Structure 1
């Protein structure tokens, strides 16, 4: 009998934890999530009760909002943890002749990187060359572009 009471308590806790987590994931309707001013500013007050219900139903089945991480200046942080991020392999969009000290690289994957120093590196002129962006030993990002014999430090801007 001594074991029955702790076992019953453990079973109760094991059942309560998933129910609490499930309740936390429940969708909260827009009218409860927004102030009346926000609701009106978004034009949602113009919806009929049925239209609002349909919108709430749709939102409840389409994932959660993901909050972007920003630094103290409000700039986006693309890798918020100190974990080692793998190299980025892509192609520079357009013509590339080297690093001029203020070079901006737009990649075919949508990322945009800006040269982080004023170093000037001349490279063979090429169209859409392959680029590998990887972390250096000091944690900075370095770009190695095909046709270039040197790398340049860069920071991601988009």
Structure 2
């Protein structure tokens, strides 16, 4: 029974996904009585420990998820931030400005609203992802964001 508890304990705290009993130091193998087992018996034991380890990890994950019920989920960090410079812009008839960026992308305003741009000067933009797949463009470090969609 002690051997079984030791092996389960050892398998749960092993950092590798698969447990290989061949990696166990010989003195521990001898102390646990595993040196008496044949290679086939060690393989069966190793397979059982790996399955048990998988079951325990799954149960631990489910328990952690249960503890998180009702808490506001933290969104995963997004690294798809776009930072560039406006090289050209045009204002079509529908008044939804189209911006061409230095990186070749083109973005259009989602709704017509006035945007103050520096004429004959560099206009730096940061385009950040928002919820539900939308994007906001921030121009020249201002806090005001303009909802945009990528068109090219």
Question: Which has the higher Rg, Structure 1 or Structure 2?
Answer: 2
TM-score range, shorter chain: 0.3 to 0.5
The TM-score, its normalising length taken from structure 2, stands at 0.41
Is the helix fraction higher in 1 or 2?
A: 2
The TM-score, its normalising length taken from structure 1, stands at 0.40
